[in-house]
A and B are shown apart, each in its own frame.
Chain A
Amino acid sequence: MELPFAITLDVGSSHANRTGSWRVERPIYVDRLPPCNDACPAGENIQRWLYQAEPGDYEMAWRQLVEDNPFPAVMGRICYHLCETACNRAQLDEAVGINAVERFLGDLAIERGWSLPPAGAESGKRVLVVGAGPAGLSATYHLRRLGHQVRLVDSAPKLGGMMRFGIPAYRLPRAVLDAEITRIVALGVDVELGHTVQDIEVERNDGGFDAVFLAVGAQLGRRVEIPAGDSSRVLDAVSLLHRVAEDDPPLLGRRVVVYGGGDTALDAARTARRLGATDAVVVYRRNRERMPAHGDQLEEALVEGVTVRWLSTLSRFDGDRLVLEKMRLNDEGFPEPTGEIEELDADSLVLAVGQDTDLSLLDHAPDVAVDDGVVEVLPTMMTGESGVFAGGDSVPSERTATVAIGHGKRAARGIDAFVSGRAAVNADRHELATFDRVNTWYYSDAQRTRRPELERARRQSTFDEVVGGLTEENALFEARRCLSCGNCFECDNCFGVCPDNAVIKLGPSLRYEFDYDFCKGCGICVQECPCGAIDMVPERI
C-alpha cells in the first residue's frame, strides 16, 4: 500500500486496544425486588405495571396487573396498600399513590370493557372451590387460566363473600364488584350459589374432584358476654353489615354504640350514621395509637361524625343505658380496669370484636389440621389432607381481602402442581431494591396527588362512594412519580455516562448490554443509575 511521506504504518482503530483487560470489577445489570412488590400481599408486580402506565399504555399496565390480581378496581378502593407503606419514594417526599393508580386502571378497564386473559387449554382436571370470597374467586381465576375446570360453590345467594356482605357500599360500590366478578365467571366457571357444603369429603368424592380449595372465610361475628337487659338490642357487626348489604337493615335507633377497635367497628359505626343514627359512638379499650383500625379509616369516620370513647370497656347494658368502665394502659400497654364508671345512652349495641370460622364441614376430614379455629397450611396452601388446599380468612393470616387474593393465586399454583404430579416450585425472589441504591438526584421533584372525597353531608345520609378516583392526568402524573426501584426503566444514563462507550443500547424495551471488551470497570454507570439496577461484582481473575 502506498503511504504518504514519513508515514510507516496504516491508520488503525483503537478498537485494537481491548481496555477490558484493565478491569478488576465488572458491572452487571440486575433486577431487584422493589419494596412495593415485596409488600403486596397479592404479589403484584407494581413497579412493572406503573412502568407500563407511565407512557400511557394503560391497557398493557392493566394486563400486567391482572396477571396477579383480577380485582384492580376493587383493590384500588379497599386494599390497605402495604405497598405504599413500603414505597421507597416515601423516603424522598411521599409514597407513590399506587392504590389510586390501580383504581384508575381498574375503572378504565370496566369502562372500556377489557376482558381478562382467556382460560388455558383444558387440562381435564376438576377443582372444587368452596367459598366465593376474594380467596375463592382469585383461585378460580388462576385455575381457569391454568386450564383446570372449576366448580365454585357458596352458601350465599351472590358471589363476593365479605367484599359483598361485609365491606359497605360507600367504600366498594357493588357495580364495581359485580363488573370484576363477572369477568372471572366469563372464563367459564361452574357456579352454584345457595349451596352450603356440609362435608368436604363427601362433596369431594361425589364430584370426583382432583383437588379442593377451601375458602370459607370467617363468617361468625364473635360475641362477648355482658349482662344485658334486652338482648334483642345487641347484635354483631358482621350480621349488621350483612343485613344492610341484603337491603334489610335492622332498626338500630338514634343512639348506637359500637364496641371494638378494628376496621369493622368503624364500618359498623359509619353504617349506623347512614341508617340515621344521630350518635354513633365507638367504645374501645385502648388508645388511638393502639387501635388496629387503619388511620385513614378512622379519619374518614371522624369526619362523618362518628365519635370514639378511648380506654373504655363494657360493663353492663340495661335498658337504654350502657355502663362503661374506664381503663388505663399498664407498662406493657395492656388495658387494665380502673374501677371508674361512666354511663352512655344507647338504643343499641353493636359488637365488633372479631370473627370466627365455621369449619364444621371438616368434621369428617381428620387429616386437615385445625388449630385455634383456623386451618393449618403449607407454603403451597395445601392442608394436611393431600389435594385439599385452604386460604383466606380461614387460615392463619392478617385477614384482608388482598391477602385472600394472594392466597388464591398461591393455592392455584399449588393445585396446578399437585394435579399435574409436579413438585411446587417457589420462584426465586430477587434481592430487595433498597432506598440507599436509589440515586435521588435524577428524579424530578413532584408531590403526591390526592384523591377527591365526597362532601360530608352526602356521607352521612347515603351509601354513595366516599373516595373518588383520579383523572387520567393525575393518574399519569402519579405513575410517573415511581422511581422504578431496582428495575431498569431505560433512562439511558448508563449508555450515556460511560467514558468508554462500553454500554450497548439494544433499542426500545430491549435494554442494554455491557461491552466487556472495552469496559474498564470505572463504575460510573453503577453510581449514576437512578434506580440501582446495576451491580458491581469482582472480576474473575
Chain B
Amino acid sequence: MTTQPVRFYQVGSFAVGNRLLPDDDRTVQSDQNRTNSLDSGHRACQGCGEALGARYALDAAMRATGGRLVAVNATGCLEVFSTPYPETSWRIPWLHSLFGNAPAVATGVAAAMKVKGKGDVRVVAQAGDGGTVDIGFGCLSGMFERNDDVLFICYDNQAYMNTGVQRSGATPPAARTATTEAVGPEPGNVFGQGKDLPRLAMAHDIRYVATATVADLHDLEEKVERAMQLHGARYLHILVPCPLGWGSAPNDTILVARLAKETGLFPVFEAEYGKVTAVSPIRHRTPVEDYLSIQRRYAHLFGEHSRTDIIARIQAIADQNIATYGLIDDEADSRGQKEVTA
C-alpha cells in the first residue's frame, strides 16, 4: 500500500485550527496555551472586531518574539475598554500615553530598551484609525522617516468609535457617521476624500507594510510573524469591523470583514520598501451590495429610495482596487487548492 501523503486538509487553512495540519502550519490562536494578550472581562461591545484583531495580532507577536514584547497604545476603544482603572485585560507589558503620540512613545520605549541592554525586547504600537490616520499621523510619519524599530498596528474600524462614531480620514464614502449624516443628495461621507494609510506608509519606503482582516487569521498571523522577524519601521493595517459603528450584527463581524476583502473594497496585500510584493486573491468574487446591505451605516442606499447610483460608485472603487492590485487570480482558490496534489 502506498503511504504517499495526501495534501488535502478538509478545511485547509481557512479555519482557525485543523487537526489534520502539521503542527508548524497551525495558528497561534489554535494553541491552548496562547498568550491571550487581551484577556476576558474587557468591556468591548459584543462581537467587537477590534478586540479580536488585537488578540490575534499581539498573541502572534508574543510567539514571534518569545514573549519579549512591549505594547504601546493610543487612546481609543481598545485602550478604554481594556483598562478601566484599576482593572486591566492586558497580560503583556502595556502602556498608554495620549491619543496622538503612540508612535513617538513607542520610539522612546525602543530606545530605552536599547539603553538598558534589553535590545531583544521588541515594541509594538497600536491605535485606532483616528489615532493613526488623523491625530497620530505626524508622529507616525516621523517614526517611519527615522526608521525606528517599531511595528505600528492600526486597527481600522473606519471612524472614531470610542467617542460615538465620528468620521475619520479612514471613513469610507457614503458611510453614515454621527458627523456625516445620511441626509441630502449625497448622504453619508463624501467621495474622493480620506487617506489610504497603507499607501502613505509605502510612500515612506519603509521595510514592511501589510494589510489584513480579522477574517483571515492565517494570513494575519503570518504577517505579524514576518513583521517581527524584520527590524526598522513596519506598518500593519488590520480591518476590524465595529458592530456598533457599522450597524452590523455582532455575529457578522467576521463575515463583514471577509466580504470587505471578497468585494475588493479592502485589498489585502504586502509591500516591502514601497513595492507591493504579494496580494491575497479574491476567492469568491462578490458584488459590493452584499457587503453594504448588512451594515446599517449604508442603510440609506437601500430600500424604497435605493441609491443604485451610489452603490455603482462604490462598486467602481472595488473594481479599481481589483485592477490596481490584481486581486482576481486564475488560481483564485490557491490556498485551498494548491495543497491538493493531482
Binding site for B on A (CB under 8 A): 9-19, 22, 54-55, 108, 441-446, 471-473, 476-477, 480-482, 489-493, 495-502, 505, 507-508, 515, 517-518, 520-524, 526-528, 530
Interface string of B235-250 (1 = CB under 8 A from A): 0000000010000011
Is the CB of B9 closer than 8 A to any CB of chain A? yes
Is the CB of B15 closer than 8 A to any CB of chain A? yes
Set of chain A residues within 8 Å of B39, measured between Cβ atoms: 13-15, 501
Q: Decide: A442 and B11 in contact? CB cutoff 8 A.
A: yes
A sample of 28 cross-chain residue pairs with beta-carbon separation below 8 angstroms, ordered by A number, consists of A13-B39, A14-B43, A14-B89, A15-B39, A17-B87, A19-B40, A54-B10, A441-B258, A442-B11, A442-B14, A446-B340, A471-B2, A472-B2, A473-B4, A477-B340, A480-B9, A480-B10, A482-B10, A489-B19, A491-B17, A495-B17, A496-B30, A497-B52, A499-B49, A499-B55, A501-B55, A507-B32, A517-B40
Q: Decide: B16 and A491 in contact? CB cutoff 8 A.
A: yes
Set of chain A residues within 8 Å of B89, measured between Cβ atoms: 13-14
Tell me the complex Cα distance, A524–B89, Å: 21
Q: Which of B4, B47, B250, B258 has the most CB of A within 10 A?
A: B47
Q: B200 to nearest A CB, angstroms? A: 29
Q: A522 to nearest B CB, angstroms? A: 4
Interface string of B160-189 (1 = CB under 8 A from A): 000000000000000000000000000000
Binding site for A on B (CB under 8 A): 1-4, 6, 8-12, 14-20, 27, 29-30, 32, 36, 39-44, 46-49, 51-52, 55, 82, 85-89, 217, 243, 249-255, 258, 333, 336-337, 339-340
Q: A19-B43, A496-B27 are in contact. List 18 more A-B contacts (CB 8 A).
A: A11-B86, A12-B86, A14-B41, A15-B39, A108-B1, A444-B337, A445-B333, A446-B340, A490-B19, A491-B11, A493-B16, A496-B30, A499-B49, A499-B51, A501-B36, A501-B40, A520-B46, A524-B250
Q: A3 to nearest B CB, angstroms? A: 10
Question: A492-B17, A515-B40 are contacts. A476–B6 as well, Cβ < 8 Å?
Answer: yes
Q: Decide: B252 and A496 in contact? CB cutoff 8 A.
A: no
Q: Decide: B51 and A444 in contact? CB cutoff 8 A.
A: no
Tell me the complex Cα distance, A251–B43, Å: 86
Set of chain A residues within 8 Å of B42, measured between Cβ atoms: 14, 17, 19, 500
Q: Decide: A522 and B15 in contact? CB cutoff 8 A.
A: no
Q: Decide: B11 and A530 in contact? CB cutoff 8 A.
A: yes
Among A444, A490, A522, the residue within 8 A (CB) of B251 is A522
Tell me the complex Cα distance, A528–B32, Å: 19
Tell me the complex Cα distance, A445–B100, Å: 45
Nearest chain B residue, comparing its CB with the CB of A439 = B255
Q: A29 to nearest B CB, angstroms? A: 16
Set of chain A residues within 8 Å of B243, measured between Cβ atoms: 522
Tell me the complex Cα distance, A443–B2, Å: 26
Tell me the complex Cα distance, A481–B30, Å: 22
Set of chain A residues within 8 Å of B55, measured between Cβ atoms: 499, 501
Set of chain A residues within 8 Å of B255, measured between Cβ atoms: 527
Among B10, B86, B258, the residue within 8 A (CB) of A444 is B10
Tell me the complex Cα distance, A54–B10, Å: 9
Q: Decide: B51 and A500 in contact? CB cutoff 8 A.
A: yes
Among A443, A471, A493, the residue within 8 A (CB) of B10 is A443
Set of chain A residues within 8 Å of B43, measured between Cβ atoms: 14, 17, 19
Tell me the complex Cα distance, A502–B32, Å: 13
Set of chain B residues within 8 Å of A505, measured between Cβ atoms: 32
Q: Decide: B27 and A524 in contact? CB cutoff 8 A.
A: no
Q: Decide: A530 and B15 in contact? CB cutoff 8 A.
A: yes
Nearest chain A residue, comparing its CB with the CB of B91 = A13
Q: Decide: B46 and A522 in contact? CB cutoff 8 A.
A: yes
Task: Please provide the 3 A-B residue pairs with the shortest distance between their CB atoms, ordered closest to farther.
Answer: A492-B17, A496-B16, A14-B41
Nearest chain B residue, comparing its CB with the CB of A50 = B10
Q: Decide: A445 and B337 in contact? CB cutoff 8 A.
A: yes
Q: Decide: B336 and A445 in contact? CB cutoff 8 A.
A: yes
Q: Decide: B17 and A14 in contact? CB cutoff 8 A.
A: no
Tell me the complex Cα distance, A443–B14, Å: 7
Set of chain B residues within 8 Å of A482, measured between Cβ atoms: 10
Nearest chain A residue, comparing its CB with the CB of B19 = A490
Set of chain A residues within 8 Å of B87, measured between Cβ atoms: 12-14, 16-17
Q: Which of B1, B8, B251 has the most CB of A within 10 A?
A: B251
Set of chain B residues within 8 Å of A446, measured between Cβ atoms: 8, 336, 340
Tell me the complex Cα distance, A501–B89, Å: 11
Q: Decide: B30 and A492 in contact? CB cutoff 8 A.
A: yes
Nearest chain B residue, comparing its CB with the CB of A17 = B41
Nearest chain A residue, comparing its CB with the CB of B332 = A445
Set of chain B residues within 8 Å of A521, measured between Cβ atoms: 46
Nearest chain B residue, comparing its CB with the CB of A474 = B6
Q: Decide: A444 and B9 in contact? CB cutoff 8 A.
A: yes
Set of chain A residues within 8 Å of B46, measured between Cβ atoms: 22, 520-522
Question: A495-B16, A501-B40 are contacts. A526–B251 as well, Cβ < 8 Å?
Answer: yes
Q: Decide: A54 and B253 in contact? CB cutoff 8 A.
A: no
Q: B31 to nearest A CB, angstroms? A: 9
Set of chain A residues within 8 Å of B9, measured between Cβ atoms: 444, 480
Nearest chain A residue, comparing its CB with the CB of B49 = A499
Question: A14-B42, A444-B11, A473-B6 are contacts. A497–B337 as well, Cβ < 8 Å?
Answer: no
Q: Decide: B40 and A9 in contact? CB cutoff 8 A.
A: no
Q: Decide: B32 and A10 in contact? CB cutoff 8 A.
A: no
Set of chain A residues within 8 Å of B336, measured between Cβ atoms: 444-446
Q: Decide: A444 and B340 in contact? CB cutoff 8 A.
A: yes
Q: Decide: B86 and A14 in contact? CB cutoff 8 A.
A: no
Set of chain A residues within 8 Å of B15, measured between Cβ atoms: 442, 491-493, 496, 530
Among B2, B27, B82, the residue within 8 A (CB) of A473 is B2
Q: Which of B8, B41, B49 has the most CB of A within 10 A?
A: B41
Set of chain A residues within 8 Å of B20, measured between Cβ atoms: 54-55, 480
Set of chain A residues within 8 Å of B17, measured between Cβ atoms: 490-493, 495-496
Tell me the complex Cα distance, A355–B17, Å: 53
Tell me the complex Cα distance, A473–B4, Å: 7
Tell me the complex Cα distance, A444–B51, Å: 28
Q: B177 to nearest A CB, angstroms? A: 22
Set of chain B residues within 8 Å of A498, measured between Cβ atoms: 52
Tell me the complex Cα distance, A444–B252, Å: 21
Q: Which of A14, A55, A471, A489 has the most CB of B within 10 A?
A: A14
Set of chain B residues within 8 Å of A476, measured between Cβ atoms: 6, 8
Q: B310 to nearest A CB, angstroms? A: 28
Q: B7 to nearest A CB, angstroms? A: 9
Tell me the complex Cα distance, A471–B20, Å: 19
Set of chain A residues within 8 Å of B217, measured between Cβ atoms: 496
Q: Decide: B19 and A480 in contact? CB cutoff 8 A.
A: no
Q: Decide: A518 and B88 in contact? CB cutoff 8 A.
A: no
Q: B20 to nearest A CB, angstroms? A: 6
Nearest chain B residue, comparing its CB with the CB of A506 = B32
Q: B203 to nearest A CB, angstroms? A: 33
Among A16, A441, A499, the residue within 8 A (CB) of B48 is A499
Nearest chain B residue, comparing its CB with the CB of A476 = B6
Tell me the complex Cα distance, A530–B252, Å: 14
Tell me the complex Cα distance, A441–B11, Å: 9
Q: Decide: A10 and B86 in contact? CB cutoff 8 A.
A: yes
Q: Decide: A444 and B40 in contact? CB cutoff 8 A.
A: no
Q: B268 to nearest A CB, angstroms? A: 15
Q: A230 to nearest B CB, angstroms? A: 54
Q: Decide: A497 and B250 in contact? CB cutoff 8 A.
A: no
Tell me the complex Cα distance, A515–B49, Å: 19
Set of chain A residues within 8 Å of B253, measured between Cβ atoms: 499, 522, 524
Tell me the complex Cα distance, A495–B52, Å: 12
Q: Decide: A523 and B40 in contact? CB cutoff 8 A.
A: no
Tell me the complex Cα distance, A523–B52, Å: 14
Tell me the complex Cα distance, A504–B339, Å: 30
Set of chain B residues within 8 Å of A490, measured between Cβ atoms: 17, 19
Question: A55-B20, A445-B337, A477-B8 are contacts. A14–B82 as well, Cβ < 8 Å?
Answer: yes
Q: A44 to nearest B CB, angstroms? A: 20
Set of chain B residues within 8 Å of A9, measured between Cβ atoms: 85-86
Q: Which of B40, B86, B258, B339 has the most CB of A within 10 A?
A: B40
